[in-house]
Structure 1
Amino acid sequence: MTADQSYPPILDDLPAPEDRLGFQPYVLALSDILLAPDTHTPLTLGLFGRWGSGKTSLMLQLQRTVEAGGKPGQASRYRTVWFNAWKYNQEDALWRALLLVLLDDLEHLLKEDPPAKPKKGEPAPRPTAEELLDLLREALYHETAWSEQGERSINWTQALTAGAGIGLNLALSLLGPGLAAAGVAADTLQEARKELGKGAPVSQVGKLAEAFRREEIVHYQAQLRSLEQFQQNFALLVKMLLWPDAKTPRRLVVFVDDLDRCLPEKAIEVLEALKLFLDVAGCIFVLALDSEAIENAVRRRYQGEVKAREYLEKIVQVPFVLPPIEAGPMRAYVQSLAPALPDPRCAEVFAVGLGANPRQVKRILNIFLLLSRLVERRPELKGAIQPVRLAKIVAIQHAYRELYDLVKLTPGYLSDLDAHFRENKRGGRLGEEGATRPALPEALAS
């Protein structure tokens, strides 16, 4: 391929909504569970796989299949919501972002297909679906107000002189839930005396600290009542919108993606919100995550008090570990990504030499395409480096770092390996074609 010839385009990093990796059997099996009328809800299904293994692509294909689950000519019984956790990672409360996305979608459903009006003479339901939406949103903002206000600085002189009610509210916001009572009192006294100087007696500050603690207890009790009320209101809203009548029950299927890319504590918040707030009949959650990353987050969060694997098992009822992609589908995938490679053997190198990680294959293909352009534009290298040899070097550099370091020191070593593995291939001693792990011998024999 010369400098004036066209190269395959650089590849994007987006998931594929169409099946290029042989995922269709998984999609059909998983959708059978989600679409089966006798599947009990609430239900959480986990799609487990490492970074770049194709979880998002699988979930996109599963969402499309679920959305098409209705009978021809009828509205689908399955309402799907997509929540990209990484998109909201900068939010103070990631769990709240999830709940608000759900409420927004339920509001759209309410406008598109409102519950039937009561028959003449029947009382209207109270609260209505609109009122429930307002109550749920108000509860979410109220619950996070404490932590958000707690970051503000407090003018202690103003707090003490402006009246007990205002002082208590500001102080409670500063302290926030979770502080030990003794620690609260000590910190309060120290900060108050620093700011007030001689302007307020110690006894007055001490009484204020005691009031803070009493008010904190009241706040904890209010939080518990609010949590229970939120669960009840959400369940009632879902029932109103998903079960307009007994003959046409619907389901809300929520797809949560990129949870393992978020900060560990935020990922745990979302998982706990699923159990605390959303454990409601009619709801199905599909989580795409790296189980190892989540288990590590649980260990850091609870410092050994909770067994990480058991924690995840209590949340996910149907775990599905994404199987490795076999060499055949991976070869077809590489060819579909870059059908105009300068040498058809390059596809074989990338398919069998890099393992079963589609995103990693894309990334390394881009590196190869960039280096191919550089070779063509350097006169002293043009024609000196065969494309398939360059593909092997790029694959070794990223999948076999120790071997790459050796090849840099002894360039002829790669040619010796080529000859050795080609001879083994002719003798049928390279192993089975269906290998799913990085297969250096097969890559070098290409």
Structure 2
Amino acid sequence: MNKEERVKYLKDKIQELNDRIDQITYDRGENPLDEDIQEDEVHYNELDELGRDLSGFEQELREIEYNEEEEFRREELRNLIHREGYIIRDKESTSDLLSRLEHAQEIGKLLSNKQTLTPLTLGIYGNWGEGKSTFLGLIENELGNINKKIEDDREEEIKYNKTHVVRFDASEYNDQDKIWYSMLSRLFAKYEEEVGSLAKVKYGLYMLKKSFNENKLNYIINFSLLALFLIWIFVYSKDKSILEVITENDVIINILGLVSTFTVATNIVLPIIKKLKFLTKPMSDNLISQLKYPDYKDLLGTREKVKENLEVLIRAWTKRSGDKIVILVDELDRCSEETIVEFFEALQLFLPVESIIHVIAINEETVCFALANNNFHYFDKEFVPNSEKLAFGKNYLEKYITIPYYLPYENSYKQYINHLLSDNSSNDYFRVFTEVEKEILIKIIIDISENQHITPREMKKIINLLLLSKERIININKKKEKGIIVKFEEHLSWFLLKYFYPDTSNQVINYLKKYYRYNKYKKFKEISSNLLYSKGFNENPKAEQVKKLFEYIEELRVDYILISNKISETLIVTKK
């Protein structure tokens, strides 16, 4: 009997046995009051024997189908194009992949609107990996677009202010002794970048004007002495030797000449030389050299020095045009708790200054805990619950954040996933995931996101882990001359179940291992009903959520699941 004949024979026997079992079950159901115990026992023994025979035939048929499937899979493997993977970097994107562009445009227009008064602080709230940096980038792009429209359209110029955007990465200055002048230094660097060679001159003129207004008497005295110096040089000392100057001029005139010479040298000439040296360096470097003291917080006047430089800069940059300065602060929640607190203390210098708008990206929980932990004297007990710390932090932030804005969540990720897995190449070799694999991934992620939030950063992490999995599967399959061949789309389905529901996946694996001898060659759908009613499964609070994902693995055979699980265990740290 060849294989085809044997398969037909097995299917016929299985059908025959099933028919007989159904008939006996039906007959017993039709006569529920039959009290013939002996006849009932005969039916029971017959059903038991039929069940054993049926199980044996089904097992043999599954084994044949399994072997045929392996041969088919091996042929597929031989024809498979190997698409090597690459790691996706976790960096800010310049594209709107999370349907947030409209939100950024709305914010940009409100910030630029001439009716929006400054100073103003907007907080962009979101979890780690939520895409806050990318969102700040979208706001920056929108402000740039508005600036271009202002140049070309008179109506836009009437409606909007021009904005000067300054990006400040707080994590680059994770040192509380630098945070104040680091922010101011970044402003000076941006100012000089935009204004160019005239930046120092323009700023210097405003500083001179401010200095003159504050020290008019000193300027009058210095200019008077300068006049005396010029008179002494060009009237009383012209064409005369030193001896003639001493002998021919009155003592009073010579004394005034010497005093004026010394004053001009120290108060005018030397400062000019220093200014010329100042012009050879970037303004931001000079600023740091002016402000960087060993213990500047203990030195009187340092805060006033920072405020003075800031106010003069803003006047030089925006006074005539009425422009706004938008400071985009990123990565604050990556700083130490001390730096976070120091940052908000530094804001006290910046917040009262007109023309400045702060847009600060914040992980609210992290910042709130930092503020609470560094203000422990406000609490009257040793142990403070997290809920109280959060409440304190939120109240603290309200003093600084004019408008809190919470990033909208993305539940689909279809566009985002397609972008991450595509490099716009026309060559199939570089498309690491096939369209089928991407479709499965997107469907499962959409189902999972109905019950739990996935951040953009976590989505990148998942895809990178899947890329590593794919490489592992390809290498494992290549080495096998015989044995189980696992397809990546099958592994993908199991991997996601294990990643998001580790407890439930462990229950599945324990069940499969415990009853492996009875379920070998079976598909998951053939045993899932027994698993669902196994001890402790439905006690899992996430049991209902995970049942939906069983649809994606119902065609997987037990062996495929066990191998896929072994591969997954090398990449997944248990996720609670």
Please state which band the TM-score falls in when normalised by the shorter chain. 0.5 to 0.7
Query: 1:365 corresponds to which residue?
Result: 463
Aligned AA for 2:89? D
Query: 1:298 corresponds to which residue?
Result: 371
- Once the two structures are TM-superposed, the CA of residue 94 in structure 1 deviates from its matched residue by 3.2
CA offsets, 1:137-187, max 9 Å, x none? Answer: 777656652349xxxxxxxxxxxxxxxxxxxxxxxxxxxx7xxxxxxxxxx
- Once the two structures are TM-superposed, the CA of residue 305 in structure 1 deviates from its matched residue by 1.5
Q: TM-score, normalised by structure 2?
A: 0.53
Q: Is the 8 A contact 2:85 2:468 kept in 1?
A: no
Structure 2 portions without partners, runs of 5+: 1-75, 153-160, 213-274, 380-391, 423-430, 516-522, 530-543, 553-576
Q: Is the 8 A contact 2:124 2:362 kept in 1?
A: yes
Aligned AA for 1:316? I
Q: Distance in 2 between matches of 1:350 and 1:417?
A: 25
CA offsets, 1:267-290, max 9 Å, x none? Answer: 221122122245311111111110
> Is 1:15 matched with 2:92?
yes
Q: Distance in 2 between matches of 1:387 and 1:288?
A: 38
Equivalent residues in 2 for 1:68-79, closer than 5 Å? 68-72=145-149, 74=151, 77-79=162-164
Q: Is the 8 A contact 2:164 2:326 kept in 1?
A: yes
> Is 1:353 matched with 2:427?
no
> Is 1:236 matched with 2:331?
no
- Once the two structures are TM-superposed, the CA of residue 407 in structure 1 deviates from its matched residue by 3.5
Q: Distance in 2 between matches of 1:440 and 1:389?
A: 16
Relative distance call for 1:390 and 1:92 in structure 2 (3 A) is farther
- Once the two structures are TM-superposed, the CA of residue 8 in structure 1 deviates from its matched residue by 5.2
Relative distance call for 1:390 and 1:72 in structure 2 (3 A) is same
Q: Distance in 2 between matches of 1:382 and 1:45?
A: 60
- Once the two structures are TM-superposed, the CA of residue 439 in structure 1 deviates from its matched residue by 6.1
Q: Percent identity?
A: 21
Query: 2:117 corresponds to which residue?
Result: 40
Q: Distance in 2 between matches of 1:115 and 1:289?
A: 34
Q: Distance in 2 between matches of 1:91 and 1:268?
A: 9
Q: Distance in 1 between matches of 2:493 and 2:504?
A: 12
Query: 2:215 corresponds to which residue?
Result: none
Cα root mean square deviation, aligned: 3.7
> Is 1:101 matched with 2:186?
yes
Query: 1:120 corresponds to which residue?
Result: none
- Once the two structures are TM-superposed, the CA of residue 382 in structure 1 deviates from its matched residue by 8.4
Q: Is the 8 A contact 2:473 2:488 kept in 1?
A: no
Helix, strand or coil: the match of 1:146?
coil
Q: TM-score, normalised by structure 1?
A: 0.67
Q: Is the 8 A contact 1:418 1:444 kept in 2?
A: no
Task: Give the aligned length.
Answer: 347
Between Structure 1 and Structure 2, the one with more helix by share is 2
- Once the two structures are TM-superposed, the CA of residue 4 in structure 1 deviates from its matched residue by 4.4
Structure 1 portions without partners, runs of 5+: 118-122, 149-176, 178-219, 421-437
Q: Is the 8 A contact 2:192 2:199 kept in 1?
A: no
Aligned AA for 2:502? R
1:28 alignment partner, one of 105, 121, 134: 105
Aligned AA for 2:414? R
More deviation in 404-413 or 371-380? 404-413
Helix, strand or coil: the match of 1:376?
helix
- Once the two structures are TM-superposed, the CA of residue 45 in structure 1 deviates from its matched residue by 0.8
Q: Distance in 2 between matches of 1:92 and 1:262?
A: 13
Q: Is the 8 A contact 1:353 1:395 kept in 2?
A: no
Larger radius of gyration: 2
Aligned AA for 2:420? L
Q: Is the 8 A contact 1:139 1:230 kept in 2?
A: no
CA offsets, 1:233-280, max 9 Å, x none? Answer: 41232022112x2xx311111111111011111122112212224531
Query: 2:333 corresponds to which residue?
Result: 260
Q: Distance in 1 between matches of 2:507 and 2:395?
A: 44
Q: Distance in 2 between matches of 1:385 and 1:78?
A: 56
Query: 2:294 corresponds to which residue?
Result: 146
More deviation in 404-413 or 262-271? 404-413
Query: 1:320 corresponds to which residue?
Result: 405
Q: Distance in 2 between matches of 1:38 and 1:270?
A: 28
